[in-house]
Amino acid sequence: MLRLLTAGESHGPGLTVIVDGLPAGLPVSGAAIDRDLRRRQGGYGRGGRQKIERDHAEITSGVRGGHTLGSPVTLHIVNRDWENWRRPMQVEARGFTSKRVTRVRPGHADLAGVLKYGFDDARNVLERASARETAARVAAGALAKALLRPAGVTVHSYTTRIGPCALEAPAGAPVAWDLVEASPVRCPDADLSQAMVAAIDAARERGDTLGGCFQVIAAGVPPGLGSYRQWDTRLDGLLAQALCSIQGVKGVELGTGFTAAAQPGSAVHDEPRWDPAGRRFFHRTNRAGGLTGGVTTGEPVWCTVAVKPISTLLRPLRSVDLATKAEVNAHYERSDICVVPATGVVGEAMVAWVLAGAFVEKFGGDGWAETRRNWRAYLAGLRRR
């Protein structure tokens, strides 16, 4: 079983990641982890924080000579902005200088958090609820990708909507990933990318923010991951939970989920066939998103994720002050205009994490060589059917 813990505050000294359950002998590249961290920091519409941070994951345990040891892997990501927040965020009581936030921000966890924990300062909430935490998840997701990659599984994402600008592409259409990574908004359509950039600029001029959608596609996923034996073992449920846990995400569509709800069954369900040359079952379409009954079918796993607009506005909405109970303008803290392209990278990490967990559960093994043997034997058995 793979386990993941993250710790750290947005303006604290840094973020810590502990990943437990990776098999021994798995090749791990620090450069590959940092590459995904840089992708998370990119995307048109990001704010000033990304000019301060230079995210790098220092591996402090669980890896020796470029390979996992089977023990917990610990990663640490330094917050460079900590230098500007030493007094307000210090651990010790002596010399502590509070920087209270009492004007809660609509759309953030501020009010819900202070009510839950009994705080009188929303900073105690926003520091941990912040999307800065997703840097830790992306680092863990890079380790999950390292486990999946030797098994031929790749995980990518691209932007399908920013505000009113939407990409009209048929379900399962091939994606030019080089064009995605070259786009400032991670959209493969050059003309639409320009329109998305213009929409972000217009929102900035209005003092507003924009949300949108991204799609995650995992190719090469073997059939049989996940289970229908219990509600909490179904892989579609685990994917939806993992993706909905990302800050700002408000909806997940597996395959053509919402579109399928308006169509008859004859236009929705994927017809299976047998490929005698490849000696494998396949589906003529993949509207189900590579999942039926909570189990992977062998087709690409794909889903579309909806991200709400950033809650912190240059022109703040009206709110309430915790101390005076008066109606006030919401607190403003440095923010982005649009994070959809960056959130897609976080979505990749979460999909990779769930699939890697299901892979380890299915094929087991304390060492990667053993896990790989089990995986290959399983695939060989499928071809002998």
- pLDDT score recorded for residue 385: 72
Instruction: With H, G, I as helix, E, B as strand and everything else as coil, classify residue 82.
Output: helix
- pLDDT score recorded for residue 113: 97
- pLDDT score recorded for residue 83: 86
- pLDDT score recorded for residue 171: 64
Q: Which domains does the chain have, with CATH numbers?
A: 3-383 (3.60.150.10)
- pLDDT score recorded for residue 170: 67
Q: How far is CA 204 from the centre of its chain?
A: 25
Q: How far is CA 156 from the centre of its chain?
A: 11
Q: How far apart are CA 20 and CA 338, in angstroms?
A: 33
- 100 Rama class: left (phi>0) / alpha (psi -120 to 50) / beta: beta
Strands 73-78 and 57-61: antiparallel
Residues found in the chain: 385
Residue-level pLDDT, tens digit, the chain, 385 residues: 899 999 999 999 999 999 999 999 999 999 999 999 999 998 888 876 776 778 999 999 999 999 999 999 999 999 988 888 888 899 999 988 888 899 999 999 999 999 999 999 999 999 999 999 999 999 999 999 999 999 999 999 999 999 999 998 766 678 999 999 999 999 999 999 999 999 999 999 999 999 999 999 999 999 999 999 999 999 999 999 999 999 999 999 999 999 999 999 999 999 999 999 888 999 999 999 999 999 999 999 999 999 999 998 888 899 999 999 999 999 887 778 999 999 999 999 999 999 999 999 999 999 999 999 999 999 999 987 7
Strands 3-7 and 14-20: antiparallel
- pLDDT score recorded for residue 378: 95
- pLDDT score recorded for residue 332: 83
Write the DSSP assignment of 239-278 as a string of letters.
HHHHHHTSTTEEEEEETTHHHHTTS-GGGTSPPEEEETTT
Q: How far is CA 315 from CA 45, 137, 203, in A?
A: 16, 30, 11
Q: How far apart are CA 189 and CA 168, in angstroms?
A: 10
Prediction pTM value: 0.95
Q: How many C-alpha atoms does 99 have within 13 Å on its Cβ side?
A: 13
